[in-house]
Amino acid sequence: MRVAVIGGGAVGVTAAYDLARRDAEVVLYEKGEIGGASTGRAAGILYDAFAAPEDARVGARAMERFRQFSGEGDFEFRETPYVWFAREGDEKRADLVREQVPRMAERGRDVSFADPADLRERFPAIDWDDVGVAAVAENAGRTDPGSYADLLAEKAREAGAELRTGVEVRIDADDVAVERADGEDGGAPADGREGEPFDAILVAAGAHTKRLLAMAGVPVPLKPYRVQALTAGLADRKRADLPMCYDATGGYYLRPHPAGLLAGDGTEEVESDPDDWKRDADREFRAVTRDRLARRLGEFGAVRESWAGLCVATPDRDPLLGELRDGLHVAAGWQGHGFMRSPALGEAAAEAVLGDNPLPEFDPTRFEGDEEFDVVEGMAIE
pLDDT digits (tens, 9 = 90+) for 326-336: 999 999 999 99
Judged by DSSP in three states, 300 sits in coil
What is the spatial distance between Cα 328 and Cα 317, in angstroms, rounded to a whole number? 22
Mean pLDDT of 355-374: 96
> Cα dihedral angle (345, 348, 352, 357), rounded to 10 degrees?
-110
Mean pLDDT of 294-323: 96
Q: According to the model, what pLDDT value does residue 174 have?
A: 85
Q: Is the dihedral of CA 218, 353, 16, 364 positive or negative?
A: positive
Residue ranges of the domains in the chain?
A: 2-44+145-221+315-366, 81-140+223-313
What is the spatial distance between Cα 332 and Cα 37, in angstroms, rounded to a whole number? 14
Q: According to the model, what pLDDT value does residue 3 have?
A: 98
Using pLDDT thresholds of 50, 70 and 90, give the confidence band for residue 182. Answer: low
pLDDT at 134 over 80: yes
Element of type H or E holding 162: strand 162-165
* Widest Cα–Cα separation across the chain: 71
Q: According to the model, what pLDDT value does residue 175 have?
A: 86
Using the CB atoms, write b or e for 156-165: b if 16+ within 10 Å.
bbebebebbe
pLDDT at 184 over 70: no
Nearest to residue 25, comparing CAs of 244, 190, 235, 237?
190
Mean pLDDT of 97-105: 96
Domain covering 2-44+145-221+315-366: architecture: 3-Layer(bba) Sandwich (3.50)
Q: According to the model, what pLDDT value does residue 190 have?
A: 39
pLDDT in tens, 223-265: 999 999 999 999 998 999 999 999 999 999 999 999 999 999 8
Asked if the domains 2-44+145-221+315-366 and 81-140+223-313 are classified in one and the same CATH topology, the answer is: no
Mean pLDDT of 307-335: 97
pTM of the model: 0.95
pLDDT at 185 over 50: no
pLDDT above 90 covers a percentage of the chain that reads 92
What is the spatial distance between Cα 318 and Cα 297, in angstroms, rounded to a whole number? 34
Domain covering 81-140+223-313: architecture: 2-Layer Sandwich (3.30)
Residue bearing the bigger pLDDT, 81 or 186: 81
Using pLDDT thresholds of 50, 70 and 90, give the confidence band for residue 188. Answer: very low
* Residue 373 CB neighbour total at 10 angstroms: 13
Using pLDDT thresholds of 50, 70 and 90, give the confidence band for residue 180. Answer: confident
**Torsions phi, psi of 352, nearest 5?**
-65, -40
Using pLDDT thresholds of 50, 70 and 90, give the confidence band for residue 56. Answer: very high
Q: According to the model, what pLDDT value does residue 181 have?
A: 81
Nearest to residue 253, comparing CAs of 229, 237, 224, 286?
229
Assess contact for 274 and 190: CB atoms under 8 A.
no
Nearest to residue 379, comparing CAs of 85, 69, 107?
85
What is the spatial distance between Cα 63 and Cα 341, in angstroms, rounded to a whole number? 8
| DSSP label of 256 | E
Q: How would DSSP label each residue in 182-251? A: TSSBSSS--TT-SSEE-SEEEE--GGGHHHHHHHTT-----EEEEEEEEEE---HHHHTT--EEEETTTT
Assess contact for 232 and 225: CB atoms under 8 A.
no
Using pLDDT thresholds of 50, 70 and 90, give the confidence band for residue 191. Answer: very low
Mean pLDDT of 117-134: 97
Judged by DSSP in three states, 355 sits in coil
What is the spatial distance between Cα 352 and Cα 294, in angstroms, rounded to a whole number? 46
Using pLDDT thresholds of 50, 70 and 90, give the confidence band for residue 176. Answer: confident
As to burial, measured by CB atoms within 10 angstroms (0-12 exposed, 13-18 middle, 19+ buried), residue 93 is: buried
| DSSP label of 341 | H
pLDDT above 70 covers a percentage of the chain that reads 96
